Structure 1
Amino acid sequence: MPSKSSARLAALTVAAVCSAATLVVTGSPAHADSVRVHDIQGTTRLSPYAGQQVTDVPGTVTGVRGYGSSRGFWLQDPSPDADPATSEGVFVFTGSAPKVAVGDAVTVSGTVTEYVPGGASSGNQTLTEITRPTVTVVSGGNPVPAAKRITARSVPRAYTPAGDAAEDGSVDALPLRPARYALDYYESLEGMNVQVSDTRVVGATDPYTELWVTVKPAENPNRRGGTVYGSYGSQNTGRLQIQSLGAVADFPDAEVGDTLAGTTAGPLDYNQFGGYTLVAGALGTLREGGTERETTRAQQRDELAVATYNVENLDPSDATFAAHAAAITDHLRSPDIVSLEEIQDDNGATDDGTVSAGATVAKLIDAIVAAGGPRYDWRSVDPVDKADGGEPGGNIRQVFLFNPERVSFTDRAGGDATTATAVTKVRGKAALTLSPGRVDPADPAWENSRKPLAGEFVFRGRTVIVIANHFASKGGDQGLTSRHQPPARISETQRHLQARAVNTFVKDILDTQRNADVVTLGDINDFEFSTTTRLLEDDGALWSAVKSLPRSERYSYVYQGNSQALDQILVSPSIRRGGDFAYDSVHLNAEFHDQISDHDPQVLRFRP
């Protein structure tokens, strides 16, 4: 998966270029005397005045944004109508620092625009704005309209209606039903002054001074304070992104499980990175929840410990080697085998044809030794330059670390970026023709994506075949707040092909040796309930061991306040039937603001 920072920087570039609307409906000029904010907002997601000129729209300034690519202010009518579907607030896009202050009574003339954050191809909903404005300040120091309280009771349980099939699944033109659907409720408050109180943090503060809270603390909770995403129909309606109109230095460094105590209030915005967002003029006080990084137990003498860990674009220039070494040595208790994902080449994102990763891996191994861990040995296969996706020039790949004092690696030469390993029989047992080797790298399923790395290990005389994976990212999928409902998950197509390819390879192993011990693991970039996982498990060839955990503990990643499982370890029937295994999702990154990776590692212990 590309790093969040690279994805965000690309999106910010788009936002800066697309400061004008990407969706405009033209019409005849509106009559000045008849238009107020609720008329502009209307009873659907699209303004009935989109593309039209409006004159002298009255209201009070509730918030001013003088930074970033979307400068302007929020205007709210202090004389609302009686329709709960019509918002009384709207954003006025000025493009430069606004010359108004909170509490100013103003009139605004300009063009009503439906702006699509992220561009039309993103599938995002539109944000109703007044653009190219002429602003007249009538008076200052006026009371700001009272903030609408968003609570567990006010947000409906149902998330969104299905989109209009005749309009490509769009919800744009559907009448808003704020008492029935959460997204309709939030849309009916777009641009208005809102508030939440004593909300639990479910998404840690990120580098862009954002965090996520929930107004529904009882909605799919886990024991560490997060909100679990357990199905496509369980989107968790209480989640809300929080930003701040104040100084960056004043934004709290929050972890999942903390609380924003007291009142957090400000205009309700809509953006491409999280949908509905409370842009706070007043932030609650951070109350720590005591969430600590987890440590798993050590494996017993006769248990093989196999782990997967996405180290997020690790290259020799990074400052996180000691922290990653501590994670592996102290928190994972030095697993016997570690599948690392997102190991970059020896000069990171520099795009000069370098593909080797020996310096990157050596630096990590040395750091592990310095942290008191074993001196791991390692195996991998260098990719073809720029053929495996990820950060351009970085050439990410999977790498096996293994502790030679506990486990041995069976080397069979010949594996390279383009040569496929296959299954053969050696002394009546399944074996790989190349070890390490890649699984069917020429298959179109792996185009511009990481190819699976297969290796043969021996523990206490028993062979275990391990397949390390990093499936195609979710880039390009529409968000949960998309104008298309249900949102399109176009990235699944490639992951489904990848899952079938890995499943076929595992079946070849099991056809050769019915009781073979096979572990398939890595950053699957999909959920334990997804079709991707079902295709990996097809015909019982594999089983995702994360499902041995309680539903509330099945997560390795936190995205937009949803704790979810993207990293998985799947096992063959012989391991599952044995029943003597233990699975742990070790939460030491995803819930913390100072994370060294956006993924939590997973570890499986079993007796081959």
Structure 2
Amino acid sequence: MPSKSSARLAALTVAAVCSAASTIVLTTPAHADSVRIHDIQGSTRISPYAGKQVTDVTGIVTGIRTYGSSRGFWIQDPDPDADPATSEGVFVFTSSTPKGVAVGDSVTVSGTVSEYVPGGTASGNQSLTEITKPTTTVVSSGNQLPAATTIDARSVPAAYAPAGDTTANGSINALPLKPSKYALDHYEALEGMTVRVTDTRVVGATDPHSELWVTVKPHENRNRHGGTVYGSYDAQNTGRLQIQSLGSTADFPKANVGDTLTGTTAGPLDYNQFGGYTLVASELGTLESAGLKRETTRKQRSSELAVATYNVENLDPTDDTFAEHASAIVNNLKSPDIVSLEEIQDNNGAKNDGTVAADQTMTKLIDAIVAAGGPRYDWRSIDPADNTDGGEPGGNIRQAFLFNPERVSFTDRAGGDATTATGVTKIHGKAHLTLSPGRIAPADEAWKNSRKPLAGEFAFRGRTVFVIANHFNSKGGDQGLTSQYQPPARSSETQRHRQATLVNAFVKDILDTQKNADVIALGDINDFEFSGTTKLLEGRGELWSAIKSLPRSERYSYVYQGNSQVLDQILISPSIRRDCDFAYDSVHVNAEFNDQISDHDPQVLRFRP
């Protein structure tokens, strides 16, 4: 989950850096006399001329990329054929800054047709057809540019992609394009051509690398903030499109979700490893703000226990976001009684020198919360063994509990460390942890290079509450929604499924010991509320993901590639759910904003134990 900068913008396109891109050569190099661009593009994703030399390919220069490692220019044939499946545009890869060509030039290009896979073939990404090692001749200048093709709600099909060819490991590369039937085929048939969108709503805020996402389908799974909700594996949201700029990044709009790019945004349609089909704009619409405001939840009542989860994104003492995180906890979350923090780094952050303690990180956050007008929280955590829990090398991220000692107490049972497992025991007929705080099965292979769950025993108004803080394995390595393999493989699920099974088994131990125990498992689950991971966590009713108590349009904590989706969850045991006397809130303070301090929105549960 998935990022970049102006200098890295090149890596967002076909050529990427050498280590990030692969070439598909399907045929023995051969000579081909003058062919048209639509002949090169063909009616499938792979050019019939891949690997061949082509000469005197004619076109009008429609855009020039002068930055990064994917330098070159786009050409488009002003005399298209009648086949909607064959694109009339292609990228000419020059590797260095193109010289001697300008937008509006009529040119002939000779070179080698190549298929580049952004991110390499192991990524599963589609390839982009290019002419490489070009020789270019300018025939004339100042020509009228081919008219931009409009992408809108009517032109983009509702179906996302065809099922992959089972004889080709599920690849769609060789399948005939059906641009009127499938959205991915529609975009592929426009690859390299100048396209335009008009008055499009922003569904993915501007990131630090001058990219944003819009939708051309304003009613597609819309939420009240203007985002587009990803609610199932069949809801890919076909109207999403990434926008970059061929111009100065300093001029790129700072957009939030719900804003609108009014007027026309136009430029060549590219394909890159970080977002798939991307409009590289030579003309940008005008940003119209929707006035999105950060949300604030209500304060818990005296009889309610408020429990929150918040991924603070690699927080270490050198960061300048402590005051903002503290303000979010105090003012937007209303100082929950217990906060599970994910991605707390050690005392010197990414410096890889064996440091694992995080007391300075936690103290700095607690002091900032007090300065923001909040309570002086206490905290509990367990330091990981050095470089064993994944995340940024040297950072040693872990989960930690904040708790307000004026409202809740922590039951300490000594002995918890990085490698010792906590368990469940019965004392006077009640369930208790053998170690508190303690880790769940830390030696199990399910947690290899991943964060181990942190279990703690709390007391509120005489009632014991078990809280399990989680940060499951990330989605790194999964194939993207625009993969050549359809449906895309989600290889990272394997480890999360094993992790979910272990956490569910631990919760089951508590409930087998005390049927009415109040148990909360929460954190960055790195998976959706409808996923197999969540189903394994929920088990046979041991837990239930409380975000499902919200309307479907409000179920999200993260925005990725224009999809508002769930990664952060709070799951509750039957005793909490049964009373129906709980309130759940996904507090949107980060994910939809271009000036976010974390890429995750916190979640809050309030209930009466």
**Short-chain TM bin:** over 0.9
1:96 aligns with 2:58: no
Superposition map of 1:486-565 within 5 A: 486-565=487-566
| Aligned partner of residue 539 in structure 1, secondary structure | coil
Deviations 1:124-171 (A, max 9, x none): 000000000000011111011000000100000000000000000000
Q: Separation in 1 of the partners of 2:382 and 2:21? A: 46
Local SS of the residue matching 1:22: strand
1:280 maps to: 281
CA distance in 2: counterparts of 1:149 and 1:9, whole angstroms: 28
Report the Cα distance in structure 1 between the residues aligned to 2:485 and 2:265, rounded to whole angstroms.
30
Q: Partners in 2 of 1:227 and 1:52 — Cα distance?
A: 42
Contact kept in structure 2, 1:420 and 1:438, CA below 8 Å:
yes
CA contact (8 A) 1:308 1:339 kept: yes
Shift of residue 23, structure 1, vs aligned partner:
1.4
1:599 aligned partner: 600
**Does structure 2 retain, via aligned residues, the 8 Å contact 1:11–1:118?**
no
Q: What letter corresponds to residue 566 of structure 1 in structure 2?
A: L
Structure-2 separation of matches of 1:287 and 1:265: 17
Letter in 1 for 2:591: A
The Cα shift of 1:16 comes to: 1.4
Letter of the structure 1 residue corresponding to residue 424 of structure 2: V
Query: Hey, what does 2:577 align to over in structure 1?
Result: 576
Give the partner amino acid of 1:106.
V
What is the DSSP-based 3-state SS (H/G/I as helix, E as strand, rest coil) of the residue aligned with 2:57? Answer: strand
Answer with 422-431 or 255-264: which moved more: 422-431
List per-residue Cα deviations over 1:196-231 (Å, max 9, x = no partner). Answer: 000000000001100000000000000000000000
Distance 1:472 1:28, change over 3 A: closer
Distance in 2 of aligned mates of 1:252 and 1:417: 45
Partner of 1:67: 67
Task: Tell me which amino acid in the other structure corresponds to 2:91.
Answer: F
Give 1:10 deviation, angstroms: 12
Cα separation, 2, equivalents of 1:389 and 1:11: 28
Task: In structure 1, give the amino acid aligned to 2:60.
Answer: T
Is the partner of 1:569 in helix, strand or coil?
A: strand
Q: How far is the alpha carbon of 1:29 from its aligned partner?
A: 2.4
Distance in 1 separating the partners of 2:21 and 2:231: 37
Deviations 1:392-428 (A, max 9, x none): 0000000000000000000000000000000001221
Question: What amino acid maps onto 2:214 in structure 1?
Answer: V
SS in 2 for 1:102: coil
CA distance change for structure 1 residues 581 and 131 in 2, over 3 Å: closer, same or farther?
same
Q: Distance in 2 between matches of 1:579 and 1:80?
A: 62
> How far apart are the structure 2 equivalents of 1:568 and 1:11?
35
Residues 30 and 49, structure 1, Cα contact 8 Å, conserved in 2: no
Distance 1:128 1:548 in 2: 46
The aligned amino acid for 2:52 is: Q
What is the aligned partner in structure 2 of residue 58 from structure 1?
Answer: 58
**1:351 aligned residue:** 352
Percent identical pairs in the alignment equals 77
Distance 1:148 1:513, change over 3 A: same
Report what 1:469 is aligned to: 470
Once the two structures are superposed, residues 416-450 of structure 1 have per-residue CA deviations (whole angstroms, 9 ceiling, x without a partner) of: 00000000012211000000000010111101100
Match of 2:142 in 1: 141
CA RMSD of aligned residues (A): 1.4
Deviation at 1:24, TM superposition (A): 1.4
Residue 260 of structure 1 aligns to a residue in which SS?
strand
Checking the alignment, whether the CA contact within 8 Å between 1:19 and 1:70 is kept in structure 2 is no
Residue in 2 that maps onto 1:378 = 379
Long gaps (5+) in structure 2: none
Q: Which residue is 2:369 aligned to?
A: 368
Q: Quote the offset at 1:25 in angstroms.
A: 1.5
Other-structure match for 1:412: 413
TM superposition shift of 1:298: 0.4
Paired position in structure 2 for 1:320? 321
Question: 2:325 is aligned with what amino acid?
Answer: H
Structure 1 match to 2:236: 235
CA distance in 2, matches of 1:10, 1:89: 21
Tell me, yes or no, if the aligned pair for 1:21 and 1:113 is still in contact at 8 Å. Answer: no
The answer as to whether partners of 2:10 and 2:69 remain within 8 angstroms in 1 is no
- The amino acid of 2:601's aligned partner reads D
1:205 lines up with 2:222 in the alignment: no
Shift of the alpha carbon at 1:31? 2.9
What TM-score, normalized by structure 1, do the two folds share? 0.98
Q: Residues 70 and 19 of structure 1: is their aligned pair in 2 closer, same or farther, counting only changes over 3 Å?
A: farther
2: CA distance, partners of 1:337 / 1:28: 65
**CA offsets, 1:538-584, max 9 Å, x none?**
11000000000000000000000000000000000000001100000
Shift of 1:30: 3.7
Matches within 5 A, 1:25-40: 25-33=26-34, 35-40=35-40
Secondary structure of 1:522's aligned partner: strand
SS at match of 2:511: helix
Q: 1:483 to 1:59 in 2, by over 3 A?
A: same
Q: Aligned partners of 1:109, 1:460: CA distance in 2, in Å?
A: 78
Aligned ranges for residues 386-465 of structure 1 at < 5 Å?
386-465=387-466
Distance in 1 separating the partners of 2:238 and 2:19: 29
- Which letter maps to 2:188? E
- State how far apart, in whole Å, the 2-side matches of 1:42 and 1:431 are: 66
Superposition deviation, residue 18 in structure 1: 4.2
Equivalent AA in structure 2 for residue 474 of structure 1: K
1:4, distance to aligned residue in structure 2 (A)? 4.5
In structure 2, C-alpha distance between the alignment counterparts of 1:73 and 1:11, rounded to whole Å: 13
Aligned twin of 1:302: 303
Query: Are 1:257 and 2:258 an aligned pair?
Result: yes
Q: Deviations over 1:159-205 (max 9, x none)?
A: 00000000000000000000000000000000000000000000000
Q: Aligned with 1:107: secondary structure?
A: strand
| Match in the other structure for 1:77 | 77
Cα distance change on mapping 1:495 and 1:150 into 2, 3 Å = same
User: Amino acid of the residue matched to residue 548 of structure 1?
Assistant: S
Structure 1 gap segments, 5+ residues each: none
SS at match of 2:23: coil
Tell me if the contact between 1:589 and 1:599 (Cα under 8 Å) persists in the aligned partners: yes
Is the CA contact (8 Å cut-off) linking 2:309 and 2:341 kept in structure 1?
Answer: yes
Contact 2:53 2:113 in 1 (8 A): yes
Classify 1:439/1:18 alpha carbon distance in 2 versus 1 (closer, same or farther; 3 Å): closer
Aligned amino acid, residue 252 of structure 2: F
Assess if the C-alpha contact under 8 Å between 2:8 and 2:68 holds in 1.
no
Q: Name the counterpart of 1:87.
A: 87
Equivalent in the alignment of 1:114: 115
Q: Give CA deviations for 1:90-148 in whole Å, capped at 9, x if unaligned.
A: 00000011121110100000000000001111000000000000000111110110000
Question: In the TM superposition, what whole-angstrom CA distance separates every residue of 1:334-373 from its partner, at most 9, and x where no partner exists?
Answer: 0000000000000000000000000000000000000000
Higher mean C-alpha deviation, range 18-27 or range 539-548: 18-27
The TM-score with structure 2 as length reference comes to 0.98
Range that drifts further, 98-107 or 127-136: 98-107
Deviation, structure 1 residue 5: 6.0
SS in 2 for 1:401: strand
CA distance in 2, matches of 1:76, 1:105: 9
- Tell me which amino acid in the other structure corresponds to 2:153: A
Tell me how far apart the structure 1 counterparts of residues 149 and 380 of structure 2 sit (CA, whole Å): 58
Q: Which moved more, 1:593-602 or 1:17-26?
A: 17-26
Contact in 2 for aligned 1:57/1:109 (Cα 8 Å): yes
User: 1:291-324, CA deviations, whole angstroms, 9 ceiling, x for partnerless residues?
Assistant: 1100000000100000000000000000000000
Q: In structure 2, what is the equivalent of residue 481 of structure 1? A: 482
| Secondary structure in 2 matching 1:435 | coil
**8 Å CA contact retained: 1:339, 1:522:** yes
Distance 1:399 1:19 in 2: 36
* Structure 1 runs (4+) greater than 4 angstroms displaced: 3-6, 8-14, 18-21
